[in-house]
């Protein structure tokens, strides 16, 4: 495409520059539009709006491509680990052995929470959703390390490591709190994902068995969620970071955005949907009829994506892993059978075909987590742990952008035009 585009606005020609990304996608740079024409663009839900330039993740939704820093998700899923991939996402290159050791050591050194945080956990009722605890506690953690707020740039590697490491400790503690169990502290000889499972499932007097296939499956779930360009929560993190808020405050906002059932909350919503179908004795066909006829505005949770219009590459990987985990654990799950049936019907049904609705990553991840023993209300927390490196990398980009300005969209006002105040007795 040309380096400029010409358009006619209100009868007058306007030339605007274009920006071409490294994979050839083109954006029209409209940053001078309002100055030149007095108009703004209107794009609710931002389906046509590039809010930034970013070098972290590339997605081609039509071709089902997802790459972190140029590396294909399938290759990373096969050969890498969540921690190595986290380094790649945050710092741009795969680490050398020395860099990986240094990064892992930094994570281990920062895995303990300040003991004062225990009192915050005590304040939550046992009914608190772990996502509420997670976002509050990430913010609370910053108050125990004041230099997260004051010396941000020079201490970035420490803050990033502290956040990646502590989010896992906070997540496990919130599970233990919600289930009335004593907190289990991390062990320095365990790797990231194994340590998380230890904190979740060990007892003070007995360590849980850490089956390698389970550790690997959960590590894979974290890796597949590690970044996904400008989704709702990452855009939230960038928005908050643009005001120069600190890393922990920005990440806590990301957790809140992720919580909703149309975003990270979908993995919980998928399992709830499958359980409901199972309890009703339906094989999925009755439910799908309700979805297609928009009865009760129901959706097939775990299907559809704003960007992927062909297939979600993460869903393909996770579906294979799901079969493997259940086979290795010698488990069968009636919900998996329902999920497969729903998928089979939907992929051959014109309603879903014509709207380009395919299974997304959440459709099968919940079944793996259920098999591992992760409770339903922790599913979105697992997503948040996985997404942390992506949020951190995007935060870093915002902070390092020399031309960065505070994010501040405009609007088209549709309320009343100017009117005079009416005294109470005349209304």
Using DSSP's 3-state secondary structure scheme, residue 30 falls into coil
| 207 labelled catalytic | no
User: Considering beta carbons, is residue 145 or 370 the nearer one to ligand ACO?
Assistant: 370
Give the torsion through C-alpha atoms of 74, 220, 231, 23, to 10 deg: -20
| 114 labelled catalytic | no
Using DSSP's 3-state secondary structure scheme, residue 129 falls into coil
In whole angstroms, how close is the CB of 362 to ligand ACO at the nearest point? 5
In whole angstroms, how close is the CB of 20 to ligand ACO at the nearest point? 25
User: Considering beta carbons, is residue 184 or 270 the nearer one to ligand ACO?
Assistant: 270
In whole angstroms, how close is the CB of 228 to ligand ACO at the nearest point? 7
Q: How many CB atoms lie within 10 A of CB 8?
A: 8
Chain mean position to CA 298: 23
Residue facing ligand ACO at closest CB distance:
304
Distant-in-sequence contacts of 275-284, Cβ < 8 A, 24+ apart = 275/335, 277/338, 277/342, 278/334, 278/335, 278/338, 283/338, 283/341, 284/338, 284/341, 284/342, 284/345
Instruction: Report the C-alpha gap between 322 and 337 in whole angstroms.
Output: 12
Which candidate in 219, 227, 312, 362 is catalytic? Answer: 362
Provide the 8-state DSSP code for 426.
Answer: G
User: Considering beta carbons, is residue 200 or 346 the nearer one to ligand ACO?
Assistant: 346
User: Considering beta carbons, is residue 178 or 273 the nearer one to ligand ACO?
Assistant: 273
Instruction: Report the C-alpha gap between 152 and 59 in whole angstroms.
Output: 30
Which candidate in 305, 330, 349, 401 is catalytic? Answer: 305
Q: Contact, 160 vs 109, CB < 8 A? A: no
User: Considering beta carbons, is residue 1 or 262 the nearer one to ligand ACO?
Assistant: 262
In whole angstroms, how close is the CB of 185 to ligand ACO at the nearest point? 31
In whole angstroms, how close is the CB of 264 to ligand ACO at the nearest point? 6
In whole angstroms, how close is the CB of 130 to ligand ACO at the nearest point? 18
User: Considering beta carbons, is residue 145 or 343 the nearer one to ligand ACO?
Assistant: 343
Using DSSP's 3-state secondary structure scheme, residue 421 falls into coil
CA distances from 3 to 20, 36, 341 (A): 8, 18, 49
Using DSSP's 3-state secondary structure scheme, residue 106 falls into helix
For ligand ACO, the binding residues (CB under 6 A) are 262-264, 266, 291, 299-306, 355, 357, 360-362
In whole angstroms, how close is the CB of 65 to ligand ACO at the nearest point? 16
Sheet holding 26-28, edge to edge: 4-9, 12-20, 26-28
Instruction: Report the C-alpha gap between 311 and 319 in whole angstroms.
Output: 12
Q: Contact, 366 vs 267, CB < 8 A? A: yes
User: Considering beta carbons, is residue 254 or 302 the nearer one to ligand ACO?
Assistant: 302
Active-site positions?
305, 362
């Amino acid at each position: 495409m040309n380096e400029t585009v010409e358009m006619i606005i209100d009868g007058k020609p306007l030339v605007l520059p274009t920006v071409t990304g490294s994979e050839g996608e083109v954006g029209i740079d409209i940053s001078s539009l309002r100055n030149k024409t007095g108009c703004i663009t209107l794009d609710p839900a931002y389906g046509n709006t590039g809010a930034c330039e970013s070098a972290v993740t590339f997605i081609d939704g039509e071709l089902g491509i997802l790459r972190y820093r140029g590396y294909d998700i399938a290759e990373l899923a096969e050969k890498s680990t969540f921690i190595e991939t986290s380094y790649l996402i945050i710092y741009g290159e795969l680490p050398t052995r020395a860099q990986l050791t240094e990064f892992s050591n930094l994570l281990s050194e920062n895995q303990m929470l300040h003991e004062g945080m225990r009192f915050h956990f005590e304040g939550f009722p046992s009914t608190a959703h772990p996502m509420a605890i997670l976002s509050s506690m990430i913010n609370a953690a910053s108050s125990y390390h004041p230099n997260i707020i004051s010396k941000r740039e020079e201490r970035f590697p420490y803050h990033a490591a502290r956040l990646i490491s502590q989010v896992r400790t906070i997540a496990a503690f919130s599970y233990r709190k919600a289930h009335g169990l004593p907190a289990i502290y991390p062990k320095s000889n365990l790797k990231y994902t194994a340590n998380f499972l230890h904190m979740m499932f060990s007892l003070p007097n007995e360590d849980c068995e850490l089956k390698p296939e389970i550790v690997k499956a959960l590590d894979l779930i974290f890796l597949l969620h590690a970044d996904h360009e400008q989704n709702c929560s990452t855009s939230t993190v960038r928005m908050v970071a643009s005001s120069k808020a600190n890393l922990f405050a920005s990440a806590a906002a990301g957790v809140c955005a992720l919580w909703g059932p149309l975003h990270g909350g979908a993995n919980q919503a998928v399992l709830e949907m499958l359980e409901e179908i199972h309890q009703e004795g339906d094989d999925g066909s009755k439910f799908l009829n309700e979805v297609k006829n928009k009865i009760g505005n129901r959706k097939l949770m775990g299907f559809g994506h704003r960007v992927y219009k062909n297939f979600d590459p993460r869903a393909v990987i996770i579906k294979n892993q799901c079969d493997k985990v259940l086979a290795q654990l010698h488990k069968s799950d009636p919900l998996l059978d329902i999920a497969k049936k729903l998928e089979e019907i939907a992929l051959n049904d014109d309603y879903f075909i014509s709207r380009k609705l395919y299974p997304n990553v959440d459709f099968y991840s919940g079944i793996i987590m259920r098999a591992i023993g992760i409770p339903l209300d922790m599913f979105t927390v697992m997503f948040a742990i996985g997404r942390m490196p992506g949020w951190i990398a995007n935060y870093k980009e915002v902070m390092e952008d020399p031309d960065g300005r505070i994010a501040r969209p405009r609007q088209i006002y549709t309320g009343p035009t100017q009117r005079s105040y009416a005294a109470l007795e005349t209304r």
